[in-house]
Chains A and B, each alone.
Chain A
Amino acid sequence: ETGVTQSPTHLIKTRGQQVTLRCSSQSGHNTVSWYQQALGQGPQFIFQYYREEENGRGNFPPRFSGLQFPNYSSELNVNALELDDSALYLCASSLTSGSLNEQYFGPGTRLTVT
């Protein structure tokens, strides 16, 4: 196992609601990246947090937001949920920003929007 944990494992929400997903990074890692993986697709980069600051963002609307805490754990918040937000949400931690070959993924949170 990678040492990256995510909660909850599964979640069901209704369209229009808000959701918060959580990620605990591997010990010593100061960078967390979030990805969305739709069924049958590769992961898509949402954003990255490095030392509590957003450090890059993919092509996702502002209703996707995040936080990183002093212990480097992170949250992904999605407002005004849409049906298309149904996906596996992955977080990945790395020792520092830029160390892509040492990016370790958690098992993901499966979000279903009905």
Chain B
Amino acid sequence: GESVGLHLPTLSVQEGDNSIINCAYSNSASDYFIWYKQESGKGPQFIIDIRSNMDKRQGQRVTVLLNKTVKHLSLQIAATQPGDSAVYFCAEESGYSTLTFGKGTMLLVSP
């Protein structure tokens, strides 16, 4: 498959570790954020979202934290698995029905 991860920040972890991927966003007025996972050769896949009236939201094995004071998002993946290897993007709603994506982080999980 084609690579989408050239020259991206990379996080390398061992299988079973917890992973934390960070993202800084630009617009303090942004109200809605999404984390996406993009595997090689595929389009981005929705993981979890959060609104600005929340600080934390949990899904299955994933948690998103939002710090509005410093305009920072993080995605925590518990018990990381080889299938989690992908590029992860945060995205903010930057206008009605419009998303602005961050640059992305490549997660590499070693067995």
Contact = CB atoms under 8 A, between A and B. Distances in A.
Nearest to A31: B97
Interface stretch (B4-12, B13-21, B63-71): B4-12
Contacts of B45: 2, 105
Contacts of B34: 100-101
Contacts of B102: 42
B2 A43 contact: no
Q: Which of B3, B43, B45 has the most chain A CB atoms closer than 10 A to its own CB? A: B43
Contacts of A40: 4-8, 103-104
B42 interface: yes
- Range for the number of chain B residues in contact with chain A: 20 to 34
A105 B104 contact: no
Contacts of A31: 97
B97 A101 contact: no
Contacts of A92: 43
A45 B96 CA distance: 12
Contacts of A33: 97
A105 B96 contact: no
Contacts of B104: 40-42
Interface string A76-114: 000000000000101010000110111111111010000
Contacts of B95: 56
Interface string B28-45: 000010100000011111
A108 B39 CA distance: 12
B53 interface: no
Nearest to A45: B98
B26 interface: no
A39 B4 contact: yes
A65 interface: no
B93 interface: yes
A33 B98 CA distance: 9
Interface of A: 2, 4, 31, 33, 37, 39-45, 48, 55-56, 58, 88, 90, 92, 97-98, 100-108, 110
